[in-house]
Structure 1
């Protein structure tokens, strides 16, 4: 039997459920990964650009049938953006085989429901990670606060700016 390396990568598992409570998929990712945060911002930008494009088409009176190719392109691009942001093929778990713009029983699109479900998880995790990082950093810098510890002979500390 090969030896093992067990690592804590901060990965969490989230079940995706429908309104009836049926698990429709599972997503695993590290929501506190700064790389994830950056990729998520890029995904949000792409999603918003497609939303604007579709809204402009609707506002200008483009017939619905002529909007379908753009909706299909946008749906595929949005799913790819989700996969990129999460670093894994999560779009199937979030969207199933449906278009991101399919209407749901609550009158929202699947995309809107996915964003409403995912955003609080991401925000909470990023805030928690930032707080833990600050606490960890404070633990490392606390012994040096208000002392000359760590300075070379004759060197003086510059007072930190207080906000």
Structure 2
């Protein structure tokens, strides 16, 4: 796996991320629905944290929830996705963050399909996509098994 996570400080991150990526991951922002990179992306592969490169979600668990953001039924590895109570905007929600980089990813809701009934509603700006055919080349060979 790409090991580029170096516990970047805010100044380094502002230089390496787009303004939207920085706003979402570092300031708990939200990108516009239906006007983001991955909301309707259908290629096979994995989605990793834009800051740490740690694997988060598989395209096999992605579905169209009609909300305008990429939605997933579960993370690839539960240990890298942490949940926190979010009481901003006059609501009580469950925020989803990456464990390694502490990046804000989005929120998880209990209105999803499948046996666990969860919908991980994630900002595209928090993600980098690694196509199935590039997994080994980019250091994510162990995730090729998800697509066999």
Scaled by the length of structure 2, what TM-score is found? 0.27
Relative contact order, higher structure (CA 8 A, sep 6+): 2
Greater strand share, structure number: 2
Greater helix share, structure number: 1
Scaled by the length of structure 1, what TM-score is found? 0.26
Name the larger-Rg structure.
1
